[in-house]
Amino acid sequence: MQILQGKKIVLGITGGIAAYKTPELVRRLKDHGADVRVVMTAAAQAFITPLTLQAVSANAVSDSLLDTQAELAMGHIELAKWADFVLIAPATADSIARISCGMANDLLTTICLATSAPIAIAPAMNQQMWHAQITQENINKLISRKVEVFGPGSGAQACGDVGLGRMLDVDELVALTCDFFQPTTKVIQTDLSGQTWVITAGPTREAIDPVRYISNHSSGKMGYAIARAAQLAGAKVKIISGPVNIPTPEGCMKLSVESALQMHQQALKLAKNADVFVACAAVADYRVAEISTQKIKKSADDMQINLVKNPDIVADVAALSSKPFTVGFAAETQNVEHYALDKLKRKNLDMIAANNVALSGQGFNSDDNALTVFSSKTKTDLPLASKRILAEQLVQLISQHYI
């Protein structure tokens, strides 16, 4: 499902180190159906070339207000009228200041003045610059003018500082852009206030030696989307997460784990006080019986690794005396309904969400998915959609069954 199908997005790129992420941002916006036109400031071109952005966007890059050829057709006005959405990423402290003051001394700021399309900025700067009083005044001024502010994120910065100011990751910027055009509706109206949800997400890693491990292709996107939807609906959300490369949804608590045994321990601990437990993680079924303390050197043509079965996290949660409403996931490649119904009954689950990960464009590492959700008495098909939308639908469905 392409949420941005037919949407015309002007991506403004200013002079921050985070500009190196923008080719991927363009590609991901196009994956969702958007037509992207890139506008670069002079400073942005010190970090990334217009040719790169032209190649990934399949459109000419605009970079000058005084381009005589473009201005024959009043290029800055044409772009301003063309846009359905203007996203400035990265948005430096300087660009934020100039836009907030209404300046129009380059192409990007002129477009911001001339467009009737909604504008969003993704701040990117040093943490001290972000916290500076004048920056915050500029941000508040833009917010008062209905400019969307995506971020910033927190973490290590290129200068060595740690704190707020990082541009949000590409995944999150794309999700927020999609949210703008297809905002949450049903889930926000579902009141989960007072409920505690525990959600497992991502893969586990089962060590072989200090440098190798067994894992799978789970990105964690589905679990994190469910966490976000539940939190938006008012629930207190705790994520038990394997190693992933996506940001934690705002307002959710994350406990990071590596192995299935670590996830099992945290799940049993937290599930005792949970109202709803959603086992979305792709947990390794087996672990290495004896982990080598040193790197295993390549020698013989063949080697054997003995594996032992990992505990079944969702089944053990469902067996608790104070059992929460327990939802499992069944990622299958064949006989999806048969295996899902077997797991539902055998593991004493209240609900199970099944998907066919063998199908192209959905499941592991994809932005989209499709689910068939079973309870003991019902079957509900949730057709192919973005994981964000699917998560909202699933949370709505769980809330209807959990009383």
Query: For residue 1, is it within any domain?
Result: no
Q: Among candidates 26, 91, 87, 25, which has minimal Cα distance to 59? A: 26
Q: Are residues 230 and 311 both part of a single domain? A: yes
What does DSSP say about strands 162-166 and 153-156: parallel, antiparallel, or unpaired?
A: antiparallel
Which ranges of 120-237 would DSSP assign to H, the alpha helix? Answer: 127-131, 133-144, 170-181, 186-189, 221-232
Domain that holds residue 73: 8-181
- CATH assignment at residue 368: 3.40.50.10300
Query: What pLDDT score was predicted for residue 5?
Result: 87
Q: Are residues 265 and 284 both part of a single domain? A: yes
DSSP letter assigned to residue 180: H
Query: What pLDDT score was predicted for residue 40?
Result: 94
Q: Are residues 163 and 60 both part of a single domain? A: yes
Query: For residue 2, is it within any domain?
Result: no
Q: Are residues 251 and 225 both part of a single domain? A: yes
- CATH assignment at residue 125: 3.40.50.1950
- Give the count of domains, the chain: 2
In order along its 403 residues, the chain shows pLDDT tens digits of 567 888 999 999 999 999 999 999 999 999 888 999 999 999 999 999 999 999 999 999 988 776 655 544 455 578 889 999 999 999 999 999 999 999 988 999 999 999 999 999 999 998 889 989 999 999 989 988 889 998 887 776 777 777 788 898 888 898 889 878 875 444 445 789 999 999 999 999 999 999 999 999 888 989 999 999 999 889 999 999 999 888 788 789 999 999 999 999 999 999 999 999 999 999 999 999 999 999 999 888 888 999 999 999 999 999 999 899 999 998 887 888 899 999 999 999 999 999 887 676 565 667 778 899 999 889 999 988 878 888 989 999 999 888 6
Q: Among candidates 139, 138, 245, which has minimal Cα distance to 202? A: 245
Query: For residue 370, is it within any domain?
Result: yes
Q: Tell the burial category of 228 from Cβ atoms under 10 Å away from its Cβ (0-12, 13-18, 19+).
A: buried
Which ranges of 162-202 would DSSP assign to H, the alpha helix? Answer: 170-181, 186-189
Angle 78-61-9 from CA coordinates, rounded to 5°: 60
Indicate the residue among 181, 208, 228 that finishes a domain: 181
Q: Are residues 191 and 162 both part of a single domain? A: no
Query: What pLDDT score was predicted for residue 171?
Result: 83
The whole-model pTM stands at 0.63
Indicate the residue among 181, 211, 237 that finishes a domain: 181
Q: Are residues 46 and 88 both part of a single domain? A: yes
Q: Are residues 136 and 238 both part of a single domain? A: no
Query: For residue 143, is it within any domain?
Result: yes
Q: Are residues 241 and 374 both part of a single domain? A: yes
Query: What pLDDT score was predicted for residue 363?
Result: 56
Indicate the residue among 143, 161, 181 that finishes a domain: 181
Query: For residue 44, is it within any domain?
Result: yes
Q: Which residues are catalytic?
A: 159
d(CA 101, CA 120): 16
What does DSSP say about strands 379-386 and 212-214: parallel, antiparallel, or unpaired?
A: unpaired
For the chain, the maximum distance between any two Cα atoms, rounded to a whole number of angstroms, is 75
Query: What pLDDT score was predicted for residue 364?
Result: 65
> How far, in Å, are 233, 262, 274, 354 from residue 255 at the CA level?
21, 10, 15, 25
Query: For residue 3, is it within any domain?
Result: no
Q: Are residues 48 and 104 both part of a single domain? A: yes
Q: Are residues 299 and 390 both part of a single domain? A: yes
Q: Are residues 247 and 134 both part of a single domain? A: no
Query: For residue 99, is it within any domain?
Result: yes
Query: For residue 33, is it within any domain?
Result: yes
Q: Are residues 69 and 207 both part of a single domain? A: no
